[in-house]
Amino acid sequence: MTATLNRLAPSRRPARLAGLLDGARKVAEAIATPLVPSDYLDLIDPLRAGAELRGRIVSVAHETADAATITIRPGKGWLGHRPGQYIRIGIDIDGVRHWRAYSLTHRADASDGLISITTKAIPDGKVSNHLVRQATPGTLVMLDQATGDFTLPQAVPAKALFLTAGSGITPVIGMLRNHLGELPDVAHVHCAPTEADVIFREELRGYAAASRLTLHENHDDVAGILDLASLDDLVPDWREREVWVCGPTGLLDAAEAHWAEAGLAELLHVERFRPSIIEPGEGGSVTFEASGVTVDADGSTPILDAGEAAGVLMPSGCRMGICFGCVVTMRDGAVRDLRSGEITVADESTTGTKIQTCINAVAGRCDIEL
């Protein structure tokens, strides 16, 4: 008897359990219709397991005059991250939800389960200014799981170089906080307008003082913008180092050119916070079919921004052309890639053409399926 049970148990029990759970789910759905059960459960615990990923701001701590670290308690569904990765955060500002990407800066092994991002307020920046100056502990924010491949490889490099500027320090501080002990030889060149603008200044200097890395700070207002040719003096063995670069577009473009010229492009890892935009084209009108909305947009406004401004529910991700989280079908018309100027025309012989809305602007007119 017992033997039979034991034999049956492993195969049957999960199936029965699954059946039971499925039944329970169906009943819960029948109770909640036309809503879904989570609409009610969210009222009680928005951070519970199984809920859409959200987080609650725990603290906002200033790093410099215009940068702050926002610590967040993520929902139970948080899966963790690899240092260097970023998350998307959706926050309501003046009642309107805005999504932006931010690199994770916390220690991955911290026992409190909290995560953090560090944001630098940029002039006229909607979300960055809100996070740095207005966000308050207790605020509920939307989150996405961590993503991105600006990370250290499994086999850590013998020699590493981090080249960062401004808020570009954020993914790198994540790597340093979590992996510095495993990295045998680290050089770090960081640029900021002034000494006071260096985010994590004391921490970086602490690492340098403890000889865990060699640090060179370039204060642009004093020393001028960093010329990559000077790397020969600052980090003479830079050609031997695997390098991670993050910062404003100018630095990234220069680094790509510099390493390519040296024939070392394969050593270079780049993290961009925004796409490099070329001269915009004409613009035109965008029709969102399912939403029944038509808007005029100029040639430099991504379709993503134009749609959001009109209240259309636009899927989005990094907002800079890397994650493909914003792809939708264009049924008709044409768009222009803001990075390359390349025109994509809707293929009329099929049901439409897939486009990324975050880096395409309308060229004349276009019809979007949404």
Ligand X SMILES: Cc1cc2nc3c(=O)[nH]c(=O)nc-3n(C[C@H](O)[C@H](O)[C@H](O)COP(=O)(O)OP(=O)(O)OC[C@H]3O[C@@H](n4cnc5c(N)ncnc54)[C@H](O)[C@@H]3O)c2cc1C
Q: With contacts defined by CB under 6 A, name the span among 6-14, 22-30, 119-127, 212-220 that binds ligand X.
A: 119-127
Length of the chain: 370
User: Is residue 329 a contact point for other proteins (CB under 8 A)?
Assistant: no
Strands 96-103 and 360-368, bridge-based pairing: unpaired
Q: How far is the CB of 134 from ligand X (least distance, A)?
A: 12
Is position 124 an interface residue for ligand X (rule: CB under 6 A)?
yes
The CA distances from residue 338 to 277, 299, 335, in Å, are 5, 8, 9
Query: Among residue numbers 325 through 354, which ones bind ligand FES (CB under 6 A)?
Result: 325-326
**What is d(CA 219, CA 165) in angstroms, rounded to the nearest whole number?**
10
Token digits of residue 74: 């993520």
> CB of residue 225 vs ligand X: minimum separation in angstroms?
15
Cα dihedral value 348, 353, 357, 359, nearest 10 = -100
Residue 326 interacts with, from other proteins, ligand FES, ligand X, none (CB under 5-8 Å by kind):
ligand FES
d(CA 256, CA 32): 54
> Looking at 121-129, 216-224, 259-267, 342-350, which segment touches ligand X (CB under 6 A)?
121-129
Lookup: tokens for 101:
């990407």
130-149 binders of ligand FES (CB under 6 A): none
Q: Does 356 bind ligand FES (CB under 6 A)?
A: yes
**Mind giving me the DSSP string for 353-366?**
EEEETTSEEEEEEE
Given 75, 307, 317, 333, the residue binding ligand FES (CB under 6 A): 317
In whole angstroms, how close is the CB of 5 to ligand X at the nearest point?
Answer: 53
Within 10 A of 197 (CB to CB), how many other CB atoms are there? 19
**DSSP E strands: which ranges in the chain?**
54-64, 67-74, 86-93, 96-103, 115-120, 140-143, 160-165, 186-192, 214-219, 242-246, 268-271, 283-288, 293-297, 327-337, 343-345, 353-356, 360-368
Contacting ligand X (CB under 6 A), which of 320, 326, 355, 361? Answer: 320
134, 126 contact by CB (below 8 A): no
Evaluate whether 66 touches 134 at the Cβ level (below 8 Å): no
Q: Among ligand FES, other proteins, ligand X, none, what does residue 133 contact (CB within 5–8 Å per kind)?
A: none
Distance CA 124, CA 120 (A): 12
Among ligand FES, other proteins, ligand X, none, partner that 284 touches (CB below 5 to 8 angstroms by kind): other proteins
Per-residue CA distances from 331 to 174, 193, 304, 347 (Å): 42, 46, 16, 8
318 vs 363, which CB is nearer to ligand FES?
318
Site for other proteins in 76-115 (CB under 8 A): 92-98
β-bridge partners, 164: 190, 246
Instruction: Give the separation between CA 243 and CA 210, rounded to whole angstroms.
Output: 22
Q: Report how far residue 134's alpha carbon sits from residue 93's, in angstroms, rounded to the nearest whole number.
A: 9
Segment contacting other proteins (CB under 8 A): 28-36, 165-173, 194-202, 221-229? 28-36
Which tokens hold the place of 251?
């630095």
Interface with other proteins includes 24 (CB under 8 A)?
Answer: no
Query: Based on CB atoms, which residue is closest to ligand X, 120 or 331?
Result: 120
Q: Show contacts with other proteins in window 304-323 (CB under 8 A).
A: 306, 308-313
Among 120, 159, 177, 331, which residue sits at the site for ligand X (rule: CB under 6 A)? 120
Q: Which is nearer to ligand FES, 66 or 337 (CB)?
A: 337
x/- contact string, 134-173, with ligand X (CB under 6 A)? --------------x------------------x--x---
Q: Which is nearer to other proteins, 35 or 260 (CB)?
A: 35
Residues lying near other proteins in the complex (CB under 8 A):
27, 30-31, 33-35, 39-40, 43, 92-98, 284-285, 287, 290-296, 306, 308-313, 365
Using CB under 6 A, list all residues that contact ligand FES: 316-319, 321-326, 356, 358
The contact set with ligand X (CB under 6 A) reads 86, 100-103, 117-120, 122, 124-129, 148, 167, 170, 273-274, 318, 320
